Amino acid sequence: MKNLSIQFWTLLVVSIIAGILIAMMDTSQNWDDTGITVGAILITTFLTGAIRNDFAWLWALIIGGSVFGFNAILKSNYGSAVALIFAFAGAYAGFFMRKIMK
């Protein structure tokens, strides 16, 4: 296994925390604003994908997967799997932005 940097581990922790926070916000009792949830997913995955673009798929799975997982377990809302689409779109937008900027 190749040597992973501090940057990777920091982004891993940040994406896990961001995913959990977004998922908790989305599944809260009186939350009904999908646009803000999607925006938060797009922004966090874009930033993590741009910072460490070789793991864009991982950031999308962690952040989008946690939103889907929380919704599926707590609310039986399987339609929230769409969060994964937005997560991958954000992460790979960051990926391509980084490639263009080089």
Structural domain contains residue 29 = no
The pLDDT profile of the chain, 102 residues, written as one tens digit per residue, is 466 789 999 999 999 999 999 999 999 988 888 999 999 999 999 999 999 989 999 999 999 999 999 999 999 999 999 999 999 999 999 999 999 997
Domain span at 69: 34-101
Q: What is the number of domains present in the chain?
A: 1
Structural domain contains residue 55 = yes
Structural domain contains residue 19 = no
Q: What is the pLDDT of residue 93?
A: 97
DSSP string for residues in 20-37: HHHHHHHTSTT---HHHH
Q: What is the pLDDT of residue 3?
A: 67
Structural domain contains residue 41 = yes
| Alpha carbon distances (Å) from 78 to 2, 19, 27 | 36, 17, 13
Q: Are 57 and 11 in contact (CB under 8 A)?
A: no
- The pTM for the full model equals 0.91
Closest alpha carbon to 67 in 50, 88, 81, 53: 81
Structural domain contains residue 43 = yes
Q: What is the pLDDT of residue 31?
A: 85
